[in-house]
Amino acid sequence: MKLHGSFIAIVSIIVIFGFHFQVFADMSSTNYQIQWDSINAGGDEESVSGSYKLRDTIGELSAKDSSSSSFLVNYGYRSGVYDRTADFYVYLMDRASQVATTAIAGQVVSVTSISGFTSGNMIAVIQNEGGSQVEAIGKITSIDPVLNTLTTDSWDFGASGLPIIDGVNDYVYELDSSSVSLGTLSSSTISTSIIAMEVSAEIDDGYSVYLYEDHGMTNGTDTIPDVSDGSVSAGSSEYGARSSDQTLSLSLFDSQDTGITSDFQQVASGSSAVFERRNYLTLKSSISGSETDGTYSQTLTLLYVGDY
């Protein structure tokens, strides 16, 4: 055993869709499809722009819905046309993109350098990086190279609220990596990293995202144990995660640092249809110092399913 070496933790990610959609009958051929047909006084137009689509009809009467516990009937022309949306995006923290941040005001965060940041990419802002850090995520909408600022479309954060930045141990990361690195683990600190998620689920009963691992965080010889007391502590050999989603009903990831297992565990959810809803997982790890040197790794799988 060694007390002084390098303990690098890396996580690779696999994303799986587990969606089930209702099936609607329509008329189709090799080249054309008619989803719904009717004879009306006029209209039958479709208007589109870069961001919106409008299907309009003149002459429709009594369009409404009727439902029971097992069936749903949509009355009226075009009621059967349903462009369903099901999107799931995962964004991984790029440790190499770290820059210090000195202030945050509304949607604008000040950084010491804008080098490497790209408009349209996701970022994470972290206050007091470590075991008790406060985070927020957002998507860059503009970059000011004169003021060294990044402006986001919104901020999404957990129970601790929006970070309060004083320029001490506060950082911004771009979320554009292909794997997650916890960096060099230490017995004196807690290493962290972020996995962000963006969900669109056009389902009345909402969705769930589940997480599981292929095996523990291991170098092949030693394995860093899962956190078992609800909090990863510096100096203890522990590994776990916490979700920013405060609405979980099937796990404890929303209320405490929780061990990742080979069983599916809920890490994000919604009880109704949502569009571009964002949450994130904060991975945390520390070591006792008695572990064998080496690179510790595992593969995490995120499964996104609609709730029916």
Structure tokens at 42: 């006029």
Both 236 and 267 in a single domain?
yes
Asked, for residue 48, whether it belongs to a domain, the answer is no
Domain boundary residue, one of 176, 197, 226 = 176
Residue 67 has pLDDT above 80, yes or no: no
pLDDT at 252: 97
Both 102 and 166 in a single domain?
yes
Both 126 and 223 in a single domain?
no
Both 158 and 197 in a single domain?
no
Q: What is the CATH number of the domain that holds 200?
A: 2.60.40
Q: By percentage, how much of the chain surpasses pLDDT 70?
A: 79
Both 225 and 122 in a single domain?
no
pLDDT at 56: 67
Reported as a single tens digit per residue, the pLDDT across 113-131 is 999 999 999 999 999 999 9
pLDDT at 50: 72
87-98 mean pLDDT: 95
Reported as a single tens digit per residue, the pLDDT across 163-207 is 999 999 999 999 999 999 999 999 999 999 999 999 988 888 899
Structure tokens at 14: 């696999």
87-104 mean pLDDT: 96
Burial of 89 per CB tally in 10 Å (0-12, 13-18, 19+): middle
Domain boundary residue, one of 176, 203, 235 = 176
264-293 mean pLDDT: 94
Residue 74 has pLDDT above 70, yes or no: no
Asked, for residue 132, whether it belongs to a domain, the answer is yes
Reported as a single tens digit per residue, the pLDDT across 210-248 is 999 999 999 999 999 999 999 999 999 999 999 999 999
Both 159 and 186 in a single domain?
no
Highest mean pLDDT among 39-43, 146-150, 271-275: 146-150
Reported as a single tens digit per residue, the pLDDT across 6-17 is 567 888 887 776
Both 242 and 150 in a single domain?
no
> Dmax of the chain from CA atoms?
83
User: Number of folded domains in the chain?
Assistant: 2
Both 99 and 171 in a single domain?
yes
Domain boundary residue, one of 157, 176, 195 = 176
Asked, for residue 127, whether it belongs to a domain, the answer is yes
Size (the chain), residues: 308
Global pTM?
Answer: 0.80
Q: By percentage, how much of the chain surpasses pLDDT 90?
A: 65
Three state DSSP letters for 79-92: CCCCCCCEEEEEEE
Among the listed ranges 1-5, 140-144, 154-158, 256-260, which one has the minimum average pLDDT value?
A: 1-5
Residue range(s) defining the domain that contains residue 12? 1-20+180-308
Q: What is the CATH number of the domain that holds 155?
A: 2.40.10
Contact yes or no for 101/167 (Cβ under 8 A): yes
Asked, for residue 36, whether it belongs to a domain, the answer is no
Confidence of residue 20 (pLDDT cuts 50, 70, 90): very low
Give 151's Cβ-side CA count (13 Å radius): 6
Both 101 and 164 in a single domain?
yes
Asked, for residue 49, whether it belongs to a domain, the answer is no
Both 290 and 303 in a single domain?
yes
Amino acid at 101: T
Asked, for residue 172, whether it belongs to a domain, the answer is yes
Which are the contacts of 35, defined by CB distance < 8 A and separation ≥ 6?
Answer: 24, 26, 80, 81
